[in-house]
Structure 1
Amino acid sequence: MINGELYKLVMKMGKFIRNLLQRQTLFKEFVIAFTIVSMIMTILGYLLYYNTTFKILQNRQEIETIQQFKQLDRNFINFFDSINKVSVILLDNLSKRYNSEYEDGISQLMKINDYSDDNAISLLNNMGNDFSQLMEENSLIDSIFIYTGKGGVIGRRATFSKSQIRGEMDEYVYKSGLYENIVENYPKLQWFGGNNIQNIGGFDDHGSSDNDASLITAARSFKSIYSDNSNGSNGVLLININESELTDYYKYAFDYDKSNAYIVDTSGKIISGVDNSLLGTKSTEFNEIDLKKDYGSFVQKDGKDKKNIFYYKVKYTGWILFYEVPLSMYRKDINILNKILVLIFVINLILILAISLLIMKRITIPLNSLTSAMRKIGNGSLGLMINNSYNNEFGLLAKRFNQMSLDIENLMKEKEEIEKKKREQEIAALQAQINPHFILNTINTIKWMAVLANTSNIAESMSVFGDLLKPLLKMKSDFNTVKEEIEYLKNYVKILNYRYGNIIKLNVELPDELFEYKLPRFILQPIIENAVQHGMDSTNQPFMISITAAAEDENIQIKVCNNGKEISKEKLDEIRLSLRHPIDSENNASSRIGLSNIEKRLNIYYGHGYGLAIDSNEERNTVVTIIVPMQG
């Protein structure tokens, strides 16, 4: 039953995730982004916790290992002290047992090669008994040897004894320099390792399996109080302990699952260790330690893994005790924590996903409402309003959207109205043409009649009037070049001068680079007509009209000035008001050829950022300014 319910739950989650991935929505992107960020933060927290725990365990292991080292050091001291006592007892017994007025047992031992065979054998037997007794009392001792310095060797082991009164000094102890080293440090007890019974003793213990066993050797130089030797030394005592006896002191102190512990001498040679195969080899870790420190640790690479190496300097000997622990051992200690952390991580991820879904749902519901309304507006539902019940950024966004929707609706209505008025003006323009071809033919007929009647002024005026009407035939475009507009104005002023007796003076000052830009057709002629109609007085004084233009940014500014009558402030305000609020052409047909008509046409073609301005002053200067964009 439980498995069935779990299966249904997994299937539902799988279906939800598939649907989520298939829909490229803001909601999905929010959820994925929020989940990814949460996962990254959780993983980083997990890694930080893991590494911190790992370091804590590593530091704790170091502290515990150093404490164990110190405890083992006390055990080693007891071990060394017990062997030291054996050496003192043996040499003391040897000295006292054969003491006389002029010599002791040590002196007799050094002179054994001068004795008769019976006396020498008696002395050797007594010494052998002393050796055997001490070995029985101290089970740590493997064997005892005395080197006389004259090639003689006397020793005993559990299974054999050796008595070499005279020799050729070819024993390992002599040839290796070990003997001289011990003598030089008289009477200090010295410790050596890494040798076997064949070296320390000089022969095989036939039938014994311990011939190759590594030995730990305590060595001490001794002398007789009656000795006349100038260097004060008569012989060397060697007490051998099997390496395994020393290993037993520390092998149970550590966990040896993949770890290792061993002791190296002052040269770095391994003389004792849990792994017997390493005995006698050189320790690579020895070169990494600081010999000035009594203890420390470092990390070293070991194949694919790494190992933490601890070391401790053993007192009295200068030897170094090493303990190697693979770092993987620490990871085993935190496996349980890992499982708990993984469980917490999974639960946390589920909670994060659930919370993110709730939060994102609250965010995306108003966004979905907004995008749905935008699609409807895009499909033509102008003026659509959305419900605004949010007192936050979404509320502000909804408010702006509703305002924008209304603005778009009003703008579309305004555009339709402008298009309607533009079509009305185009119809009016067509109605005003009254068959211009017929007019031109009639003007040409009158012109040739005037020529035949020899009235040149009538002929010339009719010719100019014909040139004035020719642009009316060019109805293919709503625009003329600046140059064409100026030529049209010149012909228009000529016609006016026939009427007013050549008192109108037209002055045009335009840069050549502006001549090819486009203007709406006949946009300047109504300004000249208004200036002549309302600005000229009856004094027959020259009436000056000047036209200038200049490029400003991406616009062209054209100024038409005249020196006619000043316009009163009241009249000027009235004209400006009519420009801002033009009278509808249906109610005032004359507006089609006035300043209002110019303003309206400029607004239709270019928008409300462009248009006409008028100004007048007491110096009898009236200026009409037109601003249009540059159009090639």
Structure 2
Amino acid sequence: MISKFYKFLRKKGMKSRIVFAFIVVPLVLIAVIFLLYYVISANILYDKSEQSAKAFVDMTEENIYLNTTKLEEQLATIMQQSNFSAMLAYPDEDTYKQAFEAYMSENSYLRLRKDFQLFDADAHLIFKEGAHIYPLDTILERKDEQEENSWVYVEELKEIVLIQNVRKNQQLIGYSVCGFPLDALSPSFTRMDREGSMLVIADEQGEYLFGTKHLPSDIKFDFSQKSFSLREDNYYVTSKKVRGMDWQIVSLISEENLYQELHNFRNMILLYGILLTIVLEIIAFFIYHSIYDPMNNILTTMRSIDEERSLVQRVVDDGNDEVHQVAVNFNELLDRIEELVKTVESEQEQKRETQFQLLQAQINPHFLFNTLNTLHFLALMNDDKPVGEGISALAKLLRNTITDQKDEVSVAEEIENLKNYIIIQKLRYGDLFETVYNIDEEVKDCKILKFLLQPIVENSILHAFEEDREHQLLTIRAQKYHHYLKISIGDNGKGFKPKERKNSNRNLSGIGIDNISERIRLMYGEKYSMQIQSSIGFGTIVTLLLPFTKE
């Protein structure tokens, strides 16, 4: 994976890589960190808001419970007065009404009340305090018959009404209806001034009753949901049932208001990101040109080099970085190239002079070959066939020696050189020995070092054969032996002892047997060799193991 990414980067330009390293990568990292921070911060804010809302709802529920309980107890205390029950028993007696009215004006328990009314069991108004008359029939429809005390919200009056059954000797004799403002339940309804937040009261079905802010009456809450949408705004919902009542306290916190600070921070980060991008682009611009300009200078100089142009241009770089080191090394390379060009030009001049000298020197070998050919034809014209053959063999041998510059020849060519050499030697020794050639067809085109066999044959002719012996043979054998080319040169001459080999290791040309072994080792390696077997009175056999290589 890493190698593929590295190859991908190498296919891109230097500018793209710098932009990727200094702009793309930092911005991606900043974006990832920002998103992580945003998500984590949003979760933390939501958790803190939920905890705060829950604590506020708990506090409000506690206040409502305590206040409603206190008001119920106070009103129950009043209804236990004798004047209260007497007024219900004798509604036409003004004395009881005046006494009850005086008692209510002096009572401090219900000082928060706005209206107070007393009805008999038939829902007839007996006593009235305040400007409004409550619709008892409507209120009783909302009242739970099983409860002695019930709280009802009267939307028309914006009041919370406490309804209590009045009994005497367990018999229902009337109803007391006492109205209170909203803040009588809890101070939260007057102190809830946080922007984007509100506190509302809903019934058990989730229908909106009243709250710190007025909402449409058709709103209905789902207490199982954590969020609520109102006029295209989202709110987080926290609710709790009020003890002893059929009401639910609902806290609504605006999502936009909750995340306003986080959104401001997000906008600030985006602004800083834009500024950072601009700064990174400026830095990347200068870094790019600090690398690209000297590199481009080197590339321009490299492209300007021409074989026909003098190498005088050099890279000028006053930096102190790796690119400067490349420029210095490149200038040194140019100096070296210029020196090599001058050297090559000098060598070419010397080569032309040498070729001219060699052209002149070719006259002598041609003159020698022409002279030998002339002598060959003169010998044939004089019917001196052995001399003619000897001169012809000498010409061929000299031609292969002087004009043919190859290091290797085929086995067939090497045998041909041997035959020419033996013809020349027979001019001197006559019929002292006979030569037998046993060359397999499959090895004739194998490659062999030129004049590798001639010194061995020469040693046999000069040192092995005796002038007074007959039937002396020189046998030359070439064949394939496993994966080797095996060549054996044997004679039935005098032979020698191993300690005498040093003295017999010379011939007229000055090339020794050990020199042949060294040539084989240098040319083919240690695994190829030359072996010599000799016995006095029986002769000598020299065996060569060479690589079986076809031309």
TM score, norm. by length of structure 2 = 0.57
Secondary structure of 2:80's aligned partner: helix
Alpha carbons of 1:61 and 1:530: their partners in 2 closer, same or farther (altered >3 Å)?
A: same
SS at match of 1:542: strand
1:320 is the counterpart of 2:248? yes
After superposition, what is the alpha-carbon deviation per residue over 1:190-222, rounded to whole angstroms, capped at 9, x for unaligned? 5455xx59xxxxxxxxxxxx3xx5764445556
Does the alignment pair 1:543 with 2:529? no
Is 2:114–2:181's contact at 8 Å kept on the other side of the alignment? no
Partner of 1:309: 237
Q: Shift of the alpha carbon at 1:42? A: 4.5
Q: 1: distance between equivalents of 2:271 and 2:70?
A: 56
Amino acid at match of 1:613: Y
Task: Quote the Cα distance in structure 2 between the aligned partners of 1:161 and 1:270.
Answer: 21
Contact 1:369–1:386 (8 Å) recurs in 2 = yes
Q: Are 1:97 and 2:83 matched, yes or no?
A: yes
Change (3 A) 1:395 1:163: closer
**Offset at 1:390?**
7.0
Does the 8 A contact of 1:54 with 1:330 survive in 2? no
From the superposition, tell whether residues 277 and 254 of structure 1 become closer, same or farther in structure 2 (CA, over 3 Å).
closer
CA contact (8 A) 2:207 2:218 kept: yes
- Find the structure with the greater CA-based Rg: 2
**Cross-structure match for 1:204:** none
Match of 1:14 in 2: none
* Counterpart residue number, 1:619: 531
Task: Indicate conservation of the 8 Å contact 1:214/1:279, yes or no.
Answer: no
Aligned counterparts, 1:279-358, within 5 A: 279=217, 281-284=219-222, 286-288=223-225, 298=226, 306-317=234-245, 319-333=247-261, 341=269, 344-345=272-273, 347-358=275-286
Paired residue for 1:571? 515
Aligned pair partner of 2:447 in 508, 524, 535: 524
For the 8 Å contact 1:493–1:506, the answer to whether it is kept is no
- How big is the shift at 1:123? 6.8
Contact 1:536/1:543 (8 A) holds in 2: no
Deviation (angstroms), 1:283? 0.6
Look up the match of 1:591: none
User: Would you say the 8 A contact 1:142–1:242 is kept in 2?
Assistant: yes
Counterpart among 430, 439, 444 of residue 506 in structure 1: 439
When residues 191 and 302 of structure 1 are mapped into structure 2, their CA distance, relative to the original with a 3 A threshold, is closer
Which position in structure 1 is the counterpart of 2:4?
Answer: none
Residues 263 and 273 in structure 1, CA contact (< 8 A), matched pair in contact too: yes
Amino acid at match of 2:515: K
Q: Which residue does 1:34 correspond to in 2?
A: 22
1:263 to 187, 201, 210: 201
Q: SS state of the match for residue 251, structure 2?
A: strand
3-state SS of 2:25 partner: helix
Work out the CA distance in 2 between the residues paired with 1:64 and 1:305.
Answer: 21
Q: Per-residue deviation at 1:263?
A: 1.7
Secondary structure of 1:287's counterpart equals: coil
CA contact (8 A) 2:143 2:152 kept: no
Q: Distance in 1 between matches of 2:269 and 2:215?
A: 42
Residue equivalent to 2:497? none
- Decide whether aligned partners of structure 1 residues 127 and 266 sit closer, same or farther in structure 2, where only a CA change above 3 A counts: farther
Equivalent positions of 1:436-451 (< 5 A) are: none
Residue aligning to 2:298: 370
**Quick one: which amino acid aligns to residue 506 of structure 1?**
I
Q: What per-residue deviation string (whole Å, max 9, x for no partner) do you get for residues 259-286 of structure 1?
A: 54312234433222345454364312x1
SS at match of 2:220: coil
Q: Distance in 1 between matches of 2:342 and 2:65?
A: 107
2:144 is the alignment partner of 1:178: yes
Q: CA deviation at 1:160?
A: 3.7
* Alpha-carbon spacing, 1:163–1:273, altered in 2? closer, same or farther (3 Å): closer
Question: Helix, strand or coil for the counterpart of 1:370?
Answer: helix
Counterpart check, 1:122 vs 2:92: yes
Cα separation, partners in 2 of 1:47 and 1:246, compared to 1, 3 Å: farther
Aligned counterparts of 2:417 and 2:232: Cα–Cα separation in 1: 101
Deviations 1:409-434 (A, max 9, x none): 78889999999999999x999x99x9
1:552-590 Cα shifts (integer Å, max 9, x gaps) = xxxxxx96866689997973697599x8xxxxxxxxxxx
- Structure-2 change in CA distance of 1:336 and 1:275 (3 Å): closer
Answer whether contact 1:614 1:622 (CA < 8 A) is retained: no
1-structure distance, mates of 2:548, 2:305: 38
Question: 2: distance between equivalents of 1:504 and 1:416?
Answer: 52
Distance in 1 (alpha carbons) for counterparts of 2:441 and 2:347: 33
Kept in 2: contact 1:214–1:242 (CA 8 A): no
CA distance in 1, matches of 2:234, 2:334: 69
- Cα shift readout 1:528-570 (whole Å, capped 9, x = no counterpart): 54334556642544333346898xxxxxxx9686668999797
TM-score, normalising length: structure 1: 0.52
Query: What is the rounded CA distance, in whole Å, between the counterparts of 1:261 and 1:274 in structure 2?
Result: 6
1:158-557 superposed matches below 5 A? 158-160=131-133, 173=140, 178-179=144-145, 181-182=146-147, 189-191=149-151, 196=154, 210=156, 216-220=160-164, 223-224=167-168, 226-227=169-170, 234=172, 237=175, 239=177, 241=179, 249-255=187-193, 259-274=197-212, 276-279=214-217, 281-284=219-222, 286-288=223-225, 298=226, 306-317=234-245, 319-333=247-261, 341=269, 344-345=272-273, 347-377=275-305, 393-394=322-323, 397-398=326-327, 401=330, 503-507=436-440, 524=447, 527=449, 529-534=451-456, 537-538=459-460, 540-546=473-479
CA displacement, residues 78-98 of structure 1 (integer Å, 9 cap, x when unaligned): 5424522442133212xx237
Query: One-letter code of the match for 2:439?
Result: L
Distance 1:503 1:420 in 2: 52
The residue type equivalent to 1:530 in the other structure is L
C-alpha contact 1:214 1:271 (8 A) present in aligned 2: no
* Aligned-CA RMSD value: 6.4
Q: How far 1:387 moved relative to its partner?
A: 6.9
Q: Which amino acid aligns with 1:178?
A: D
Which residue in the other structure is 2:431 paired with? none
Percent identity for Structure 1 against Structure 2: 14
1:584-615, CA deviations, whole angstroms, 9 ceiling, x for partnerless residues?
xxxxxxxxxxxxxxxxxxxxxxxxxxxx4355
Matched residue type, 1:374 = M
Question: Within 1, Cα distance between the matches of 2:415 and 2:455?
Answer: 17
Question: Secondary structure of 2:221's match?
Answer: coil
Give the aligned residue type for 1:531.
L
String of CA shifts for 1:145-181, please: whole Å, max 9, x gaps: 6674xxx3345664447899xxxxxx8847x7821x3
Q: What is residue 153 of structure 1 aligned with on the other side?
A: 123
Q: Is the 2:57–2:238 Cα contact (8 Å) retained in structure 1?
A: no
**Structure 1 residue 498: Cα displacement:** 8.5
CA contact (8 A) 2:192 2:212 kept: no
Residue ranges of structure 2 left out of the alignment (5+ in a row):
1-11, 400-405, 426-433, 465-472, 491-504, 533-542
Equivalent position SS for 1:153: coil
Report the AA paired with residue 153 of structure 1.
A
Segment drifting more, 61-70 vs 316-325? 61-70
Query: Do the aligned residues in 2 keep the contact of 1:153 with 1:162 (CA within 8 Å)?
Result: no
